[in-house]
Amino acid sequence: MPILLAKNQDNGKKSIFLLVALVLLGFLILLSAYPVSAQETKITVTIDKIYQTADFTVDESIIIEISGTFKIEDYTGNVYFGIYAPEGWETSITPEETWVPFDPSPNPEPVIVTFDGEIIPPKNAQQEEHNIYVWASIDKKNPEPPDIVSSTSNVFSESSIIEVIQNRVKMVTDIIEQRILPSSSITYSISVTNAATVSDIFEIELQNHEELENEGWTFTKSVDNLILNPGDTQIIYIDQQIPPDVLEGDYKFDVLVSSSQHASSQSSQTFTTKVRVPEIASPFQIDWMLLFMVGFVGCGIGIAAFLGATEVGYFSLISLFLPLYVRLKKKDVLSHFTRGQIFGYIQANPGTHYNAIIQDLRLHNGVGAYHLQVLEREGFIRSLRDGIYKRFYPSTMRIPEKRLHLSRIQRDIFEIIQKHPGITQKQISKLLDESKQVVNYHVKILEGAGLIRLERAGRETACYAGKVKYVPEEDVYQLADETASAQVMRM
């Protein structure tokens, strides 16, 4: 009997232990199914590189790597991770989820999860900046896109930008239409930018202008090609001269800018010149305004004849109409205060540009342009285009020769050769961390300009400074100032 009672007590204890184990197991199951989350739950997404480029003009197969961290605070349970990209883009991330264990301490430390991912844009992705979102979710493996973009209470995200480049040429122009009279000239300006991640040579070509040239139109390009580094911008000019016998109408021509290294990278712009011929009245058509003016002038002549009969009237008449008969003579050009002020400013500052004259003398654009045209027309000054500027010099002064425009890498190569005569192109390539092909291309340009000379040294080519002296821009204008000052002293 005592033995049987002891066995029953042991079975009772086992039942109690089993019941407690089942309760704990159920609690853990509920905890995993319904994670405990406080209202202060916060997940901070940090991306290492916020801005990246996908240049399809360099490589047709692009895989963009993305990395960063998730900082999880005040949360226990499963957290899911992913990357949201435009439709058609492929994405992957590691890890795809993680389990955050319960931390009973009063001030639990945040959990840091490092992630790595890959993004593959399609080959036909549109050329623009695309937003990419790295997200973390505490309740869904695949949250809805609106929740990802707006970062709801259960979804946390951070965006980065991937710029897709399909065309290396970026053209911008402010004016594509101009109105003009026959026997006039106009200029169109175009801003060209290298949108690629590598240097390139861009060719400038006029199209659909041959018929106009046969009719007497002339077209002049400021340059035939451009050498631009990644992100560089340069302005080109197209000058157009209209013949005197052209008929009224709209005349169009195109400008094409194309990459010499990537055949599909090109951009074109159509320009329209609207020629307007002044109307000439028919001799058989009655112009009532003309008749009125003739009558008015007749009355004026009658009054003048009446006033001219007396001495007082005579002098009054001369004083009234004298300014109408005074013609501008060359000796009187500088008698105008503002015009003389502008001419004196140019003599003191030879090579100054239009905006500097307007700003320093506090003139309106129309006033300044008019007086400059008069001074140039009458032979007091000469103008010279220098890039985006129009510079003015006294006509008695010798204008400095135009300097050689070298790019950054060309200046670096030239300075290295000056410091290290006999250096090889291979050594220059290592010093500049550029490819041999790029260095060889720019070396040929410098040789063609006479700035350097090449000598064979076995299998290598040694580089030496040439006979042509390279004068930087600031030295050119200092020379102009000194020349002008000397001429002013002689005057």
Q: Are residues 238 and 101 in the same domain?
A: no
pLDDT band at 128; cut points 50, 70, 90: very high
pLDDT band at 437; cut points 50, 70, 90: confident
Q: Are residues 415 and 479 in the same domain?
A: no
pLDDT band at 314; cut points 50, 70, 90: very low
pLDDT at residue 285 in the model: 52
Alpha carbon distance 300, 305 (integer Å): 9
Q: Which of 94-108, 116-130, 138-152 has the lowest mean pLDDT?
A: 138-152
pLDDT at residue 434 in the model: 87
pLDDT at residue 247 in the model: 87
pLDDT band at 253; cut points 50, 70, 90: very high
Alpha carbon distance 390, 383 (integer Å): 7
Q: Are residues 298 and 345 in the same domain?
A: no
Alpha carbon distance 456, 484 (integer Å): 45
Residue 282: inside a domain: no
Q: Are residues 347 and 424 in the same domain?
A: no
Q: Are residues 189 and 148 in the same domain?
A: no
| 256 phi and psi angles, rounded to 5 deg | -110, 125
Q: Is the pLDDT of residue 309 over 80?
A: no
Q: Are residues 216 and 340 in the same domain?
A: no
Q: Is the pLDDT of residue 16 over 80?
A: no
- CATH number (domain holding residue 152): 2.60.40.10
pLDDT at residue 486 in the model: 46
Alpha carbon distance 280, 333 (integer Å): 32
Q: How large is the average pLDDT for residues 475-485?
A: 45
pLDDT at residue 290 in the model: 64
pLDDT at residue 327 in the model: 45
Note the pLDDT tens digit of each residue in 200-214.
999 999 999 898 988
pLDDT at residue 286 in the model: 53
Alpha carbon distance 28, 99 (integer Å): 14
- Compute how many other C-beta atoms are within 10 angstroms of the C-beta atom of residue 26: 10
Q: Could you please report the per-residue DSSP string of 419-485?
A: HSTTEEHHHHHHHHT--HHHHHHHHHHHHHTTSEEEEEETTEEEEEE-SSPP--HHHHHHHHHHHHH
pLDDT at residue 167 in the model: 94
pLDDT at residue 317 in the model: 47
Helix (H, G, I), strand (E, B) or coil at 152: coil
Give the number of domains in the chain: 6
Note the pLDDT tens digit of each residue in 382-433.
887 765 567 888 988 877 655 566 778 888 999 999 998 989 988 898 888 8
pLDDT at residue 305 in the model: 57
Alpha carbon distance 49, 161 (integer Å): 9
Alpha carbon distance 61, 123 (integer Å): 8
Residue 281: inside a domain: no
Q: How large is the average pLDDT for residues 351-375?
A: 83
Alpha carbon distance 155, 276 (integer Å): 64
Note the pLDDT tens digit of each residue in 136-194.
998 788 888 888 888 777 889 999 999 999 999 989 987 888 888 888 888 998 999 99
pTM of this structure? 0.49
Range of the domain at 390: 330-401+475-490
- CATH number (domain holding residue 374): 1.10.10.10
> In the numeric block, which tokens belong to residue 371?
């007086």
Residue 280: inside a domain: no
Whether 79 contacts 43, CB under 8 Å: yes
Alpha carbon distance 50, 120 (integer Å): 16
User: Under 8 Å CB-to-CB from 9, ≥6 apart: which residues?
Assistant: none
Alpha carbon distance 440, 317 (integer Å): 79
- If one compares 241 and 298, the residue with the highest pLDDT of the two is 241
Q: Give helix 337-348 / helix 473-490 axis angle, nearest 10°.
A: 120
Residue 84: inside a domain: yes
Question: For the chain, what percent of residues have pLDDT higher than 90?
Answer: 32
Q: Is the pLDDT of residue 263 over 70?
A: yes
pLDDT band at 472; cut points 50, 70, 90: low
Q: Which of 31-35, 100-104, 205-209, 436-440 has the lowest mean pLDDT?
A: 31-35
Cis? peptide before 95, omega within 30° of 0: yes
The full length of the chain comes to: 491
pLDDT band at 475; cut points 50, 70, 90: very low
Q: Is the pLDDT of residue 95 over 90?
A: yes
pLDDT at residue 352 in the model: 84
pLDDT at residue 451 in the model: 87
Residue 414: inside a domain: yes
Q: How large is the average pLDDT for residues 304-333?
A: 47
Q: Give helix 425-432 / helix 436-448 axis angle, nearest 10°.
A: 120
- If one compares 437 and 281, the residue with the highest pLDDT of the two is 437
- If one compares 165 and 488, the residue with the highest pLDDT of the two is 165
Alpha helix (H) residue ranges in 322-424: 337-348, 354-361, 365-377, 408-419
Q: Tokens 């092909």: give the residue.
A: 437
Whether 115 contacts 93, CB under 8 Å: yes
Residue 235: inside a domain: yes
Q: Are residues 429 and 449 in the same domain?
A: yes
pLDDT at residue 65 in the model: 95
Alpha carbon distance 260, 264 (integer Å): 10
Q: Are residues 53 and 140 in the same domain?
A: yes
Q: Are residues 129 and 49 in the same domain?
A: yes
User: Under 8 Å CB-to-CB from 66, ≥6 apart: which residues?
Assistant: 47, 48, 49, 52, 83, 116, 117, 118, 119, 132, 134, 160
- If one compares 9 and 315, the residue with the highest pLDDT of the two is 9
Please name the amino acid found at residue 440: N
Question: For the chain, what percent of residues have pLDDT higher than 70?
Answer: 75
* Residue where one domain finishes, among candidates 117, 144, 165: 165
Q: 27: which strand partners?
A: none
Q: Are residues 50 and 149 in the same domain?
A: yes
Q: Tokens 């100032």: give the residue.
A: 481
Average pLDDT value for the chain: 80
| Long-range contacts formed by 384-388: CB under 8 A, 24+ apart | 385/222, 385/237, 386/353, 387/235, 388/189, 388/235
Q: Are residues 58 and 159 in the same domain?
A: yes
Alpha carbon distance 308, 305 (integer Å): 5
Q: Is the pLDDT of residue 313 over 60?
A: no
Residue 314: inside a domain: yes
Q: Are residues 206 and 64 in the same domain?
A: no
Q: Is the pLDDT of residue 4 over 50?
A: no
Q: 68: which strand partners?
A: 47, 115
Strands of 56-128 (E only): list them.
Answer: 64-75, 77-84, 90-94, 97-100, 111-120
Residue 257: inside a domain: yes
